[in-house]
Chain A
Amino acid sequence: MSDRSSGGVLRRLARMAANLVYRDIDVHVASTGAADRPILAVSNHFGGLADGVLLVDSSPRRPRIVARDVIWKVSLVGRLATAAGMIPVHRAADGAARATNDEMFAAAYDSLREGEVVLIFPEGVTQDVPHMAEVKTGAARIALGARESGVEGICIQPVGVHYENKAGFRSRALVNLGPLIDLDEWVAERGEPVVGGADDRAAVGDLTGLVNTKLRHVAPDYPDWDQAHALETVAEVLLTDVDVAAPPPVQYGDVALIGSRLNRVAEPERGQLVTLGAQYQEALRASHTSDHAVATAANPVRSWGWVLDLVLAVLLLPFALVGMVAAAVPLLLVLIASRLRIAPAVRATVVPGLAMLLFLGEWVLFALQTGEGGSLQVGLAAAVLFPFLVAALFFVAERIAILWQRWRRRRQPSSAELPALQALRAEVAAKGWAAL
């Protein structure tokens, strides 16, 4: 399989898996202009396999992912990883027999020399908390080593991956591509020459510090989940304020970006925002209402977008019902997997992997079973229809869920609760706008 074709297949599979597992993926790009330059992408690692799927899907070019060599210990998975162009890294913590990672560095240098994208998770481990672990030196050593070996024009691309629910099925995510770090410019601005590339400890330390700062700027970096949810509530208030007429829910990517910005506000304002956000969140929960309902209580907004959703849902309902029968087994198993009592980061690996395997398997089985009578036509039609039926199932289920949520969110709080909610909301908004 040629490199180009394996890249194409990999990206198509990633696109399929991403569309299957997530109902909405936002990509935010801070800067463009490195279309043909070698890029070392560095990303936070909250979601295991889910991170890889989202990053391959969102990347403008097929990235070569630097991954722990434990993946290659499972024969079939290792073969797939090799076919996907992944680069193994050996770590003593994983019981690696090898003393060095010379092959990994050489493969990464070669890829960058070819103008490819190399993706590394510089924390080295997945996280279940909403902030990053210590950034290790691997990314800086690859970048400086490649430059030393003659690769020109290297850019480092910090990428933050945000999840609404990283282990959930049909959840939402944001891929946040931050400003590029031009390695040559950084070396020139640093003032001191880099001697020995990856062996220049001072330069590696400085560059790791820069990668750490830039990566934390684009990735979630909250002290804990409660504070993350409180600041995202404040973000939702501000986003609703600027477009009250837009139907809920607010786009997850926008909430994550504004929430992260509020998280970077200096103390004591940040602490006040967290307190107010948490209070408002709790008040909404206690009143069984939503921010949109409180914001529009004085001037209810009438929109007819739901009629189109309803018509489409009714039109597609027969196909969705057939889809539910056709994909019942994989759907049930994936939903069970998404609720397993295991570490969320492990679930974030299990859910997309299992979803791809089961749905692809069921696709083949559905076609074979339907055409079992010897009818090639029927089998072919079943094979062609399966993705459409599954898409119709997701579409109808999610439209109904959104319509239900809209109806619930439009339910106004009681007249006794409303003044207090509006006053609290006004306080949250005032503090939020002042912080920006």
Chain B
Amino acid sequence: MSSWINDNLAFIFVPLVAVWVIVLVDIVGQPRLSTRMKWIWGLGCTVLWPLMIAYWITRPVQGRIERTQVRTSPRDRLVDAVLDHEDGRIDDSEMATIVNELRGR
């Protein structure tokens, strides 16, 4: 997690927070906007940016190598079993068990 933050801090969080601050300052400084509209724009920006940041945090994107260590889907299990079977790490009966399980049989 810490390496993920280090990798993405400069490119994602800092720019987003910087833009958010700049936009807020710009909104507050707009002479033509009423106070009510400034609040609406400010709230819009304050909600939209955290939503996008939350999306970046929660989306399943990791480092190239780290991503391979999270292999839990049925398709991942099939790929691993097929390669393990070919390399002799699992035998025919183990392979058949895994395939039948994955195919719901």
- Which residues of A does B touch, CB under 8 Å? 25-30, 57-58, 60, 175, 179, 238-239, 241-243, 246, 250-251, 254, 257-258, 261, 264, 312, 315, 377, 380-381, 384-385, 387-388, 433, 436
Contacts and interface: CB of A to CB of B under 8 A. Distances in A.
B75 A243 contact: yes
B86 A242 contact: no
A57 B67 CA distance: 13
B75 A239 contact: yes
Given A29-B65, A57-B64, A384 B76 contact: no
Contacts of A261: 82-83, 86
Interface residues of B, number: 32
Given A29-B68, A60-B65, A377-B22, A246 B86 contact: no
Contact of B74 (A30, A179, A242, A315): A242
A179 B19 CA distance: 45
Interface in B9-58: 11, 15-16, 18-19, 22-23, 26, 48, 51, 55
A180 to B, nearest CB: 13
Nearest to B19: A384
Interface string B74-99: 11111100110111000000010001
Contact of B76 (A27, A29, A238, A254): A254
Cβ-closest 8 pairs across A and B: A242-B102, A243-B74, A27-B64, A384-B15, A242-B74, A58-B64, A29-B68, A239-B75
Contacts of B16: 388
A28 B79 CA distance: 10
B85 to A, nearest CB: 7
Where chain A touches its partner, the secondary structure class is helix
A258 B65 contact: no
B2 interface: no
A192 B68 CA distance: 38
A27 B103 contact: no
A385 B19 contact: yes
A242 B67 CA distance: 21
A28 B68 contact: yes
Interface of B: 11, 15-16, 18-19, 22-23, 26, 48, 51, 55, 64-65, 67-69, 73-79, 82-83, 85-87, 95, 99, 102-103
Contacts of A436: 82, 85, 95, 99
Given A257-B83, A381-B22, A385-B15, 9 more contacts: A27-B67, A29-B65, A179-B87, A246-B75, A251-B75, A257-B79, A315-B51, A377-B26, A380-B18
Contacts of B76: 254
A177 to B, nearest CB: 8
Contacts of A251: 75
A238 B78 contact: yes
B99 to A, nearest CB: 7
Given A58-B65, A261-B86, A242 B22 contact: no
A242 B80 CA distance: 13
B68 A242 contact: no
Contacts of B22: 377, 380-381
11 contacts: A29-B68, A239-B78, A242-B77, A242-B103, A243-B73, A254-B75, A254-B76, A257-B83, A380-B18, A387-B11, A387-B15
A381 B64 contact: no
Nearest to B17: A384
Q: Which of A26, A250, A312, A381 has the most CB of B within 10 A?
A: A381
Contacts of A381: 19, 22-23
Contacts of B67: 26-27
Contacts of A179: 87
Contacts of B73: 243, 246
Contact of B75 (A25, A29, A242, A377): A242
A312 B75 CA distance: 27
A388 B19 CA distance: 11
Contacts of A238: 78
A239 B80 CA distance: 12
A179 B87 CA distance: 10
B56 to A, nearest CB: 10
A29 B65 CA distance: 7
A433 B75 contact: no
A25 B82 contact: no
A57 B11 CA distance: 16
Contact of A264 (B77, B79, B86): B86
B61 to A, nearest CB: 10
Given A312-B55, A381-B22, A254 B15 contact: no
A433 B68 CA distance: 24
A175 B64 contact: yes
A305 to B, nearest CB: 12
A258 B82 contact: yes
Contacts of A257: 79, 82-83
